[in-house]
Structure 1
Amino acid sequence: MSSEVSSAEPIRVVVIGGPTASGKSALAVDLAEDLGGTVINADSMQVYRELAIVTARPGAEDLARAPHRLYGFLGAAEVCSAALWRERALAEIHAAAAEGRVPILCGGTGLYLRALTHGLSEMPEVPPEVRAEARALHTRIGGAELRRRLAEGDPILAARLHDGDSQRLIRAWEVLQETGRPLSEWQEQPARVPEGMAFFTVTVLPERAALYRRCDLRFERMLEEGGLDEVRALMALNLDPALPSMKALGIPQIIDFLKEKISREECVRLAQRDTRRYAKRQMTWFRNQVHANLMVEKQYSERSDAKIFKNIRQFLLTGHN
């Protein structure tokens, strides 16, 4: 059965978004335990099997409290697009509803959440060999030259991207090679909005200084809990550095440390800096791009805000936001 087919009674879906280290995962598992829900991952790095520690994937205790889906379902050698994630997420939403459970989307990847709630334009299928050729070309000639070549066939998208945006450059190039049409043209097609679903969106946006402290502490804790060994195992796979999994927060710095290019202190400093910058971009995106039904402007802690639970229960009972 298609994930786009509507039903008389819409599936009520809870969406929890916010920056890294904001406590949204704790909120999701508390809600899932309280409401009989299934937590569905909406973080673009937590989809990779090999990145459990460095991406702070839910641990054994949380997994025991509620079902979790779409965590670690892809290998690090693969690329998870918004379209692929959306297809899997829609299937998991329907599966949760069929089991009488509340689907609870949780993550900080705004593109994924927008793709789910607002839909995506129809995109072409690109064979794996074409995708591999595009990655190999990028590795050989670099981002600046690939962007220059892309500009000849897709000047609109080339103007939007920068030389270091390897994932999007490669995607635009592979689509152009496979279809003969620029990706910017494909993106202008009408979006496929999911039918038969109602969404209640919560954004968790803590005070910035407190969030930054949590970002710093999270990276230090990740190192203590086995992050170095996890990255060593990732390096042993000899993957293309342009792959998304190789660019997850902290991984480039840890690789440089393990290769003895930088000290441990410099590794920590740079990784914490980049994590804070990423959290700041996430904060800006969720404030400006998401029309939340409920905004939580503080760090979420276990059952700290009865208002969240009350509003979500009302939505589940009545369908009203």
Structure 2
Amino acid sequence: MSERHSSKAVLIAGPTASGKSALALELALSAGGIVINADSMQVYRDLRIITARPTQDEEARIPHRLYGHVDAAVNFSAGAWVADAAKALEEARIEGRLPIFIGGTGLYFKALTAGLSVVPPIAAEIREDVRARLERNGVEALHAELARRDPRAAERLNLRDRTRIARALEVIEATGRSLLDWHHEGQPPLLPKDSFRAVFLAPERDELYARIDARFDAMLAAGALTEIEQLAARGLDPLLPAMKAHGVPALIRQLRGELSLEDAAMIGRADTRHYAKRQFTWFRHQLPEFEWVKPDEARGWLAGAANAARASR
């Protein structure tokens, strides 16, 4: 290919608060890159503060794509992200920029490098009916229904996982086929093997948890509660992804007078720490092609990636 960076790309993943954004910005500045978001919550324009999106100054220094481009009322999917990522990737290639994908959403990275299952769009009336039954009858009743209609999918799901149970039931209802069957038929990856370098930042757990706690407090000081108040005023479906971002449910409860700010912050910090733990597990088992490095080793990895990018020009 004649583009300056050919098909090469850099993938920077890691748990929340691991220092990914600073690393991506440094690489983009040194290698002529474009930063492409691979975080499922940072896509929402309503959630700039509570998801620690790049600052306006950072976005002005280097091109950033797929940040804050989706309304919170949208049930944004991995398939929709892949479609947007394909456009951003093509833009990077046309402009001769190094595409740098950064985030902590494992499914996005897996879709990028291994492809994604294709599930037909679910009609709005089916989705609304399933969610109404969920609210009316409870998650246990919906799981029991799923067990009758799609026992294989039901067996794999946690009995309290409202979102995934509803999703599996929507799919069987709309298509007559199990979600597991659809997972076997998918789109090819946007980035085939050998077309990218991938790193996973792996801080020591105690250090990471301390950073998570400090960052959550900093987000509150920066106006996160006001941001969530504006989101809550919209009266959106609580099952929407944006309404379940870490810290959002607890802060909404605080605004309703159900929790003190201290208790809400405690829940938000704990939820984020638990999520970080799951990120470690998911990437270790699902994405073995990522090279794990400590944050203090990241500069060396960064230099290697920048040199490789320059060599491909």
- Post-superposition CA distance 1:218-250 (Å, at most 9, x none): 110111101110111111011111111111101
Q: State the TM-score, normalizing by the size of structure 2.
A: 0.92
| DSSP-derived class of the 1:11 partner | coil
Partner residue, 2:234: 237
Instruction: Write the distance in 2 (CA, Å) between the matches of 1:278 and 1:306.
Output: 26
The alignment's C-alpha RMSD in Å is: 2.0
Partner residue, 1:271: 268
- Post-superposition CA distance 1:179-210 (Å, at most 9, x none): 11111111122552336671110111111111
Task: Indicate yes or no: 2:179 matched with 1:205.
Answer: no
1:36 to 7, 17, 32: 32
- What letter matches 1:90 in structure 2? A
1:316 to 297, 301, 309: 309
Instruction: Write the distance in 2 (CA, Å) between the matches of 1:32 and 1:296.
Output: 19
| DSSP-derived class of the 1:14 partner | strand
Give the gaps of 5 or more residues in structure 1: 1-6
Deviation at 1:318, TM superposition (A): 5.5
Q: Is the 8 A contact 2:198 2:289 kept in 1?
A: yes
Instruction: Write the distance in 2 (CA, Å) between the matches of 1:48 and 1:261.
Output: 26
| DSSP-derived class of the 1:15 partner | strand
- Post-superposition CA distance 1:262-293 (Å, at most 9, x none): 11221121211111111111122223332245
Q: State the TM-score, normalizing by the size of structure 1.
A: 0.90
Deviation at 1:316, TM superposition (A): 2.5
Partner residue, 1:249: 246
Task: Indicate yes or no: 2:219 matched with 1:226.
Answer: no
Partner residue, 1:291: 288
| DSSP-derived class of the 1:168 partner | helix
1:181 to 174, 177, 180: 177
Instruction: Write the distance in 1 (CA, Å) between the matches of 2:104 and 2:290.
Output: 17
Q: Is the 8 A contact 1:18 1:205 kept in 2?
A: yes
- Post-superposition CA distance 1:92-143 (Å, at most 9, x none): 1111111111111000000111011100122212223332332222222222
- What letter matches 2:261 in structure 1? R
Q: Is the 8 A contact 2:113 2:192 kept in 1?
A: no
Instruction: Write the distance in 2 (CA, Å) between the matches of 1:100 and 1:138.
Output: 48
**Structure 1's 11 and 84: CA in aligned 2 closer, same or farther, altered over 3 A?**
same
Task: Indicate yes or no: 2:154 matched with 1:158.
Answer: yes
- What letter matches 1:30 in structure 2? E
| DSSP-derived class of the 1:278 partner | helix
Instruction: Write the distance in 2 (CA, Å) between the matches of 1:107 and 1:306.
Output: 18
Deviation at 1:169, TM superposition (A): 1.7
**Structure 1's 241 and 86: CA in aligned 2 closer, same or farther, altered over 3 A?**
same
Instruction: Write the distance in 1 (CA, Å) between the matches of 2:241 and 2:291.
Output: 31
Moved over 4 A (4+): none
Partner residue, 1:115: 111
- Give the length in aligned residue pairs: 308
Question: How much identity, in percent, do the aligned residues show?
Answer: 45
Task: Indicate yes or no: 2:45 matched with 1:49.
Answer: yes
| DSSP-derived class of the 1:53 partner | coil
Instruction: Write the distance in 2 (CA, Å) between the matches of 1:11 and 1:140.
Output: 50
